[in-house]
Amino acid sequence: MKIFTPPFYSRKINFLLLGGLILFLSCQSDPIVYNPAGGYEYQKKSFQLNKDASKTVQGDLHTGMSPRLYSGILLNGDRVSTLIRLLPEVLDSHEVCSADSISKVNISLFSITQLADEDTIFLIQKDSIQIQLISLNEIWDEDIVLDPTKLSTITNTINTTPTISNSLIEIKNQSIDVQIYDHDSDIIQHWCETQEELGIVVSYIPTDTTYLEFYSSNGSEVGLGPRLSLEYSIEEETSKSHARYLIKDVSWGEQVENINGPYYVDDSLSGYWGTFYAMSLDWDSPIITNPPLAYDSVQNSEIVSAGQNSPLFTIDLELNPEIINDIDSISFSILNAVAFMSESDPKGDNFDTDSTGTENNGQLDWTDDNDNGQWNIGEGEEWFDYGEDNCPDIWETGNADDPCDSTSTLSIFNAIGTEVNEQLDWTDANENKLWDEGEGEEWFDWGSDWCPDSLESGDGFCIANLVPCNCLDYSGEDLGYDPNSDNADPVGDDWHEINNPDSTEGNYKWDPGEPFYDWGLDGLPMSIVGYSDAFEGDSLLHWTDNNSNGAWDPGEGERWFDTGTDGKYNEDEVENYENYTEGNFVFNTGERYFDCGEDNICNDAEGDDETDDYNIDPNGDNWSAINSTGTEVNDQLDWTDANENKLWDEGEGEEWFDWGLDGIQDSLEAFHVSSVIPIERYDNSYIFDLDEEILQPTPDLETDTVSLWISEIRKVDENSLNIEVSVQSNKALKGLQFQLYHTPFTKLDTTLETYTRSIAQIGEDKLFEDFTLLPKSEYDPLMLDTTLQINYANDVAAFLDFDSLNLFLENKEYIFSHQYSNLVFYIDATNTDIHEDGMWVYLTHSSDLGDDGSILGYPTYVPSSSDSVEISMGQILRAYQSGSLGSYNGFKLKANDILYNYSKLSIKNNPRIDVIFSQ
Amino acid sequence: MKIYFFLILITGIGFSQATGLSAYGVGEKTHNSDPASLALGNSSFFSGNSKHISIDSPSSLWRSALTRFSIHSGFNYLSTAKYPDQYQQNLTSFSILFPVGIKKVFGFGLQPIYRSNKLNITDEDFKFIGADESITGAPIAYKNTYAIDGGISELFLLYSQKLTHNISGGIKYSLLFGNQSSNDELYTYDVQFDTLSSGGLLINEFVDNEDTLYAIANYSGMTEINKYRKFSGSGISAEGRYADEKHEFVINLMLNGKINVETTNQLTMVNSYTTTNNTFENSATDFSSNFGLGYRYKILNNSGITVEIHNKSPFNIPENAVIFNIMPPREESIHFGGYYQIRNSKIGYWNNLNMRGGAYAKNLEFTDGVFKDVGGTIGFGLEYLGNTQSIDIAFRFGRKDSRLIIGEYEKYISFHIGITTGEKWFMKRRRK
């Protein structure tokens, strides 16, 4: 408490001090919203190319490391082939080299483009493919630079080596498979034993300038490159399970007479094998071929009576001859055993035995729980809202004499028909926004009056409608332009080269009267920047059509609008322009079309496809707001009990089943999971010694259940057994079923195991090296010095140096705009040849020593139609400025290998770097 | 006494260090912090207390043989027509002085000398790059926000000694250090003109050719610029003082060495999540110096008047380190003050009640013009416990031309408090 001693005696003083502190802390300064002088101001600076230092440079690389391979005739006419070399030293470690037999050795090449449609319709000239298996005299690494001398050696070999038969070449959707083994059955020995250096040469010699383009083994995914597909066999010891017996037959015991059956599942591969059905079916064969049994064909016979204890049936088994000498016993058991009671109403829901029962009560017991108007599972008795014809639409024939065909053969239901489907079925194949022959249903861009200008009456009607024939070629009085005022060009000032050459809207040139922003070259009005620049407000248009396209584009000066001399675009020329739809190249609601289907031939006209009629209700009985008398899908049962038997009968309307709320008829109720009786099986382990033939003792049976047991196993002869299965039941049964199970025999066998493998690499080692056989073009030094070119295949890059950029980058305070700092260059179209898929270019760093350093930024895509390219430079310049890239010594502009390798880009001699920066 | 130190420290540390609108140089010069001197027309050399010791004047410090602890703090309220409420907390400064001989005192302390404090500014209007300057061929708009904080402090060593009966002197060596950071955001937009106002930010609505047009700014990117500047340097000042019965003269010369600045610019492109750092170092090219003269006329034993003039050359920092590219100004000032001491003739708890007042005028000469700062001061101090302890309070009020908002005035009122305590720890006593 010493701190509360003098000079301030009172606690009040201390309170004031602390209060003052809190007061100070609560002070908040007003935010300052103000443009301070000296804040960041962006400036633009352009760096022009140093033409003396900039040039084309050619490196030492070739196409061996490209992810693409070529075969055929390139865009520039060069002929190329693909060479693939399997590396024997890599394959040597694969088990195929020690295989006991070989049945397939294929080499697959995967194409970048589609080669065939559905593997049958070829998109290439199949017969122009030649493939050879050649012996390589010289081994190349993939970084080799191929020159004519090197290629001449292999060309000689190719010319003297026979081609692989076309029958051994399979062209698939996007790959080519070469069956090497069928061409040379010793191919694996060549590779694995003698380590021969062999190559596959794929040549494509089409009649046009086309080529095949494959994935090479150098892509980011080796698996996309060439693959070796193998099928071979190796002897191996394996454990195999063998069934100890086969089921030969099954027959009823003596107590069961004059009843069909019993039945069993004979398919040893099925999980139901050994399942026996002790019930009567209307089938002759005892074998169930398609388990499980559906029970709907079970006859209502009593197989076992109440209190019965007797053998039920005998099963004849044949011992498996493959292992008969290896086994001395069989261990049986009974699985999945259930019994089915023999009662007339197992679930007790019949109306005649219980007045609250719903089965056979003569009325539909259905509760629409989900309020969808239709029967759903769990909603009681099933019924079908098919209408009084009791026929679903898809079976309806539209023929009153034979209205329903459950095979659909006679049905005329067609939900995908396009004729009379009340919608326009038109595909603008040539994208001219108008209907043309072969584009489906014809429509008329005449506006909602269905009338071309020439027939418009001037009061909204069409003159053609006023004449008796209602024909459209009526020649009436010429009322001038757009009498009904519905044209998309309301005043008719849209320019058209032929039809309206003197009009001014959209004529690709500025005409007096057309509005423009008289804001000067900065494109900014004085009202927002506070000052006016040169030419602003001088009432003259200052526009330079730099790209000669006849329209204003950014950077071309004052913006103008090609509205025509009226100063208004079409939509501004009238009120309610949405009603002006004639000639707008759009099908608008209300415009006329022929709903004749995609063939554009209406019914009854010659050539009409009669199957194209849209028809989703052939019998016309579907309920709808228009057809309220329809009975199909009207959400109610339409049944008339004509014979008053309280059951649905044929011809009484919509069918329904009086099966009670459980939805199960009496004959099947015994088989429902809630009604089946579990069977007592006691010890359920029956081990039969094949040598001693010991009889199984009978279990102590319980009398108040259904019991099933194997009462006897008897060896008939050395190869077969009989098994007697007995039953005792406290209830009458219409059948029972069980599965006879046994422990299979496991045997160690030496078998020939067959393997199918498709490999592109083994471990980390790729299996193939591949090359495109085309010599590298060496560029003329003079051309290198005087042009700026980029070409991946010949490792040609443009070295670009910009005046004073190095000095600019030394200022560490400059802040470069990322999105507004670009390298800009224009393409020399004369010497440029870019594939239609385009190409990717990227910049690399040039170190002090002049060699290439790291890649700068991200690659830039250059479409084939480009006339200029912009590469974002903000991030790159900042990296130089910070020193993280070293010092600036110029850039190299290169093409990468992602797309067509032989694209060639030539740059006009005026690249520049535009930088927007602040400090 | 500890409680007062504690309270003042808390207020100094707890406050956001918001300055007014001193967005130039490395901030506003806050060299004077002793409320006793401030109350004398923002004086540096005189204090109007019983010993006439001013913490900011090395040649006056020998006058007490006590070990003196001083701590100062202040609060500033500033108002302009546009931004009426701006608050500023002056940093707390402290010093320790102790005798090293007869009439010889050595001391050290810490105090701020330049502060921008926390200054948040948002551009009010868009700025533009015209289509003819834009690399896209279309106009670009941009708008920035600025957040500036920090400044330079000094750690000083003092020595003061009485040389003769009338003459004394003092020197002060300062290590200058500190950090200043700015966190700025540059937003760029593509400008679009349309007859409909939809999407983007509305820049302006105007009528052109009888059509109502809307200038819309569509966001295109944001660059975040974090600048960290680390200052280091030193300065030395020498001061002489002549005093007789009625008159006292002071002369002070200060020399600042070259200030070194290490700058780290961190740029983050928010759209592309890329960040780059530039770190570089540079120094001022020149030295800077301050010169001051002071005079006190003692009217009576307990009253007097003072006058001072100061000429301070622009603070010598590199151009890249200044706020908004505005170099620090040359300062010329004149200060008038007067004091009156009520002495307690009785033996009691308190000894002196010092009444002070004054006025000053200052010219801040920037490269692009002179900005005036005039004001008055009033204050009082209480000395107690045998004049060993004191509490001083000063109010300063004035008006100055705003450097940030050209053409406007900044009216300010500041409150300063200082506490000094003297202990006889190192005093040599005669053995009895």
Closest listed residue to residue A593, CA positions, set A467, A415, A439: A439
Provide mean pLDDT across the span B55-69. Answer: 90
Residue to test with chain B: of A11, A14, A528, most B Cβ within 10 A: A528
CB contact under 8 A, A29 and B265: no
DSSP letters for A181-206: HHH-TTHHHHHHTS---EEEEEEE--
Question: Looking at CA atoms only, how far is residue A520 from chain B in angstroms?
Answer: 9
ipTM, interface predicted TM-score of the complex: 0.83
CB contact under 8 A, A819 and B221: yes
- Which residue in chain A has the smallest CA separation from B131? A522
Q: What is the CA radius of gyration of chain A?
A: 45
CB contact under 8 A, A820 and B320: no
Cβ(A876)–Cβ(A857) below 8 Å: yes
| pLDDT surpassing 50 at residue B15 | no
Provide mean pLDDT across the span A581-607. Answer: 92
pLDDT value for B18: 34
CB contact under 8 A, A524 and B384: no
Lowest mean pLDDT among A39-43, A256-260, B251-255, B264-268: A256-260
Cβ(B113)–Cβ(B233) below 8 Å: no
pLDDT digits 0-9 by tens, A208-235:
999 999 999 999 887 899 999 999 999 9
The whole-angstrom separation of Cα A268 and Cα A271 is 8
Q: Among B11, B119, B130, whose Cβ lies nearest the Cβ of A521?
A: B130
CB contact under 8 A, B23 and A36: yes
CATH code of B71's domain = 2.40.160.60
- Give the HSE-up count for residue A154: Cα atoms under 13 Å, Cβ half-sphere: 30
What average pLDDT is seen over chain A? Answer: 90
Chain B residue numbers with beta carbons less than 8 Å from the beta carbon of A4 are 3
Q: Which residues contact A395 (CB under 8 A, 6 or more apart)?
A: A404, A405, A406, A408, A411, A413
Q: Is B216 on the interface with A (CB under 8 A)?
A: no
CB contact under 8 A, A517 and B193: yes
| pLDDT surpassing 70 at residue A183 | yes
Q: Is B344 on the interface with A (CB under 8 A)?
A: no
**Considering its fold, how many domains does chain B have in total?**
1
Residue to test with chain A: of B143, B145, B276, B367, most A Cβ within 10 A: B276
CATH number of the domain at A45-57+777-918, please? 2.60.120
The whole-angstrom separation of Cα A465 and Cα A473 is 11
CB contact under 8 A, B85 and A41: no
pLDDT value for A616: 94
- Which residue in chain A has the smallest CA separation from B209? A515
Helix (H, G, I), strand (E, B) or coil at B62: helix
| pLDDT surpassing 80 at residue A510 | yes
Asked if the structure places residue B431 within a domain, the reply is no
Asked if the structure places residue B159 within a domain, the reply is yes
Residues spanned by CATH 2.60.120 within chain A? 45-57+777-918
Q: Among B75, B82, B406, whose Cβ lies nearest the Cβ of A37?
A: B406
CB contact under 8 A, B404 and A36: yes
pLDDT value for A222: 77
The whole-angstrom separation of Cα A327 and Cα A325 is 6
| pLDDT surpassing 80 at residue A14 | no
pLDDT value for B255: 93
Chain A residue numbers with beta carbons less than 8 Å from the beta carbon of B138 are 523, 554-555
Lowest mean pLDDT among A150-154, A310-314, B269-273, B278-282: B269-273
Chain A residue numbers with beta carbons less than 8 Å from the beta carbon of B406 are 37
Helix (H), strand (E), coil (C) string for A844-858: EEECCCCCEEEEEEE
Chain B residue numbers with beta carbons less than 8 Å from the beta carbon of A884 are 276
Largest CA distance in chain B: 102
CB contact under 8 A, B146 and A884: no
Cβ(A175)–Cβ(A109) below 8 Å: yes
| pLDDT surpassing 70 at residue B2 | no
Q: Among B82, B128, B320, whose Cβ lies nearest the Cβ of A524?
A: B128
Helix (H, G, I), strand (E, B) or coil at A573: helix
Q: Measured between alpha carbons, how far apart are the two ends of chain B, in Å?
A: 31
CB contact under 8 A, B139 and A524: yes
Q: Among B87, B220, B267, whose Cβ lies nearest the Cβ of A815?
A: B267
pLDDT value for A698: 81
pLDDT digits 0-9 by tens, A633-681:
999 999 999 999 999 999 999 999 999 999 999 999 999 999 999 999 9
Closest listed residue to residue A910, CA positions, set A859, A866, A850, A868: A868
Helix (H, G, I), strand (E, B) or coil at A882: helix
CB contact under 8 A, B132 and A821: no
Q: What is the CA radius of gyration of chain B?
A: 26
Q: In this structure, which amino acid lies at residue B275?
A: T
Q: Is B65 on the interface with A (CB under 8 A)?
A: no
The whole-angstrom separation of Cα B70 and Cα B381 is 14
Q: Among B137, B223, B265, whose Cβ lies nearest the Cβ of A555?
A: B137
pLDDT value for A27: 55
**Is A261 exposed, middle or buried, given 0-12, 13-18 or 19+ CB atoms closer than 10 A?**
buried
Sheet holding A169-171, edge to edge: A169-171, A175-179, A101-110, A227-242, A745-759
Asked if the structure places residue B316 within a domain, the reply is yes
Chain B residue numbers with beta carbons less than 8 Å from the beta carbon of A879 are 276
Q: Among A37, A819, A914, whose Cβ lies nearest the Cβ of B188?
A: A819
CB contact under 8 A, A28 and B87: yes
What's phi and psi for A626, nearest 5 deg? -80, -40
Q: Which helix (H) or strand (E) holds B35?
A: helix B35-38
Closest listed residue to residue B390, CA positions, set B30, B37, B15: B37
Give the CA-trace dihedral at A619, A622, A626, A627, to 10 degrees.
70
CB contact under 8 A, A17 and B7: yes
Lowest mean pLDDT among A36-50, A570-584, B361-375, B415-429: B415-429
Q: If you count residue pairs, one on A and one on B, with CB atoms under 8 Å apart, how many are there?
A: 202
CB contact under 8 A, A815 and B223: yes
Q: Among A28, A40, A518, whose Cβ lies nearest the Cβ of B184?
A: A40
Q: Quick check: bond before A311 cis, omega within 30? A: no
Asked if the structure places residue B69 within a domain, the reply is yes
Cβ(A909)–Cβ(A826) below 8 Å: no
| pLDDT surpassing 80 at residue A365 | yes
Q: Is B192 on the interface with A (CB under 8 A)?
A: no
Q: Is B267 on the interface with A (CB under 8 A)?
A: yes
Closest listed residue to residue A394, CA positions, set A373, A378, A408, A374: A408
Range of the domain at B333: 2-119+154-181+233-423
CB contact under 8 A, A818 and B204: no
Provide mean pLDDT across the span A362-367. Answer: 94
- Which residue in chain A has the smallest CA separation from B262? A812
Cβ(A250)–Cβ(A760) below 8 Å: no
pLDDT value for B10: 47
CB contact under 8 A, B123 and A39: yes
pLDDT digits 0-9 by tens, B155-194:
999 999 999 999 999 999 999 999 999 999 999 999 999 9
The whole-angstrom separation of Cα A187 and Cα A178 is 13
Q: Among A37, A527, A875, whose Cβ lies nearest the Cβ of B274?
A: A875
Instruction: Read off the pLDDT band of A4 (50, 70, 90).
Output: very low
- Which residue in chain A has the smallest CA separation from B138? A554
CB contact under 8 A, B11 and A21: yes
Chain B residue numbers with beta carbons less than 8 Å from the beta carbon of A556 are 137
Chain A residue numbers with beta carbons less than 8 Å from the beta carbon of B131 are 521-524, 554-555, 557
Token pair in block for residue B194: 């349309």
pLDDT value for B403: 87
Provide mean pLDDT across the span B284-297. Answer: 90
Asked if the structure places residue B138 within a domain, the reply is no
Residue to test with chain B: of A8, A13, A32, most B Cβ within 10 A: A32
Cβ(B195)–Cβ(B205) below 8 Å: no
**Is A624 exposed, middle or buried, given 0-12, 13-18 or 19+ CB atoms closer than 10 A?**
exposed
Closest listed residue to residue A174, CA positions, set A224, A99, A232: A224
Largest CA distance in chain A: 126
- Which residue in chain B has the smallest CA separation from A553? B137
Vertex A226: Cα angle to A144 and A774 (nearest 5): 35
Chain A residue numbers with beta carbons less than 8 Å from the beta carbon of B221 are 817-819
Asked if the structure places residue B161 within a domain, the reply is yes
The whole-angstrom separation of Cα B404 and Cα B78 is 13
Asked if the structure places residue B62 within a domain, the reply is yes
**Is A674 exposed, middle or buried, given 0-12, 13-18 or 19+ CB atoms closer than 10 A?**
exposed
Spell out where A594-662 has E strands: none
Q: Among A7, A25, A819, whose Cβ lies nearest the Cβ of B220?
A: A819
Chain A residue numbers with beta carbons less than 8 Å from the beta carbon of B11 are 21, 24
Token pair in block for residue A18: 């602390």
Asked if the structure places residue B214 within a domain, the reply is no
Helix (H), strand (E), coil (C) string for A893-909: EEECCCCCCCCEEEECC
